[in-house]
Amino acid sequence: MSEKLPYGTNLPEPGADAVPDAVPAETIAVITGGGRGIGRHLAEAFAKAGYHVVITATSASRAETSAADIIGATGGSVTGRGLVVDDAASVAEFKDAVLALETETSRRVQVLINNAGQIESTEGPLWEAEPESLSAVVSANVLGVALMVNSFAPVLMDNAEATGRSSRIIDLNSGSGAQGTPAYAVYSASKASLFRIADSVVHFGHDKGLRIFEMAPGVVETAMTKSMPVHDFRGEGDWTTPSQVSDLALALASGSLDAFTGRYVRAGADTEESLIAEVAAGLEKSTRRLVLG
Per residue in 178-222, pLDDT (tens digit) is 999 999 999 999 999 999 999 999 999 999 999 999 999 987 665
Query: What is each CA distance from 209 to 111, 226, 242, 270, in whole angstroms?
Result: 12, 38, 29, 25
Question: What is the arithmetic mean of pLDDT over 272-277?
Answer: 97
Q: Which of 81, 82, 54, 79 minimizes the C-alpha distance to 68?
A: 79
Q: Give yes or no for residue 25 having a pLDDT over 70.
A: yes
Q: Of residues 260 and 11, which shows the higher confidence score? A: 260
Strands across the sheet containing 210-216: 77-82, 52-57, 27-31, 108-114, 167-172, 210-216, 264-266
Instruction: Calculate what percentage of the chain has a pLDDT beyond 70.
Output: 88
pLDDT per residue over 216-274, tens digit each? 998 766 555 546 565 554 455 556 899 999 999 999 999 999 999 999 999 999 999 99
Residues 6+ positions from 5 with CB-CB distance below 8 Å: 203
CB atoms within 10 A of CB 228: 17
pLDDT of residue 13: 74
pTM: 0.92
Mean pLDDT estimate for the chain: 92
Least trusted range by pLDDT, from 1-15, 57-71, 106-120, 155-169 = 1-15
Question: What is the arithmetic mean of pLDDT over 74-96?
Answer: 98
pLDDT of residue 234: 47
Residues 6+ positions from 180 with CB-CB distance below 8 Å: 188, 192
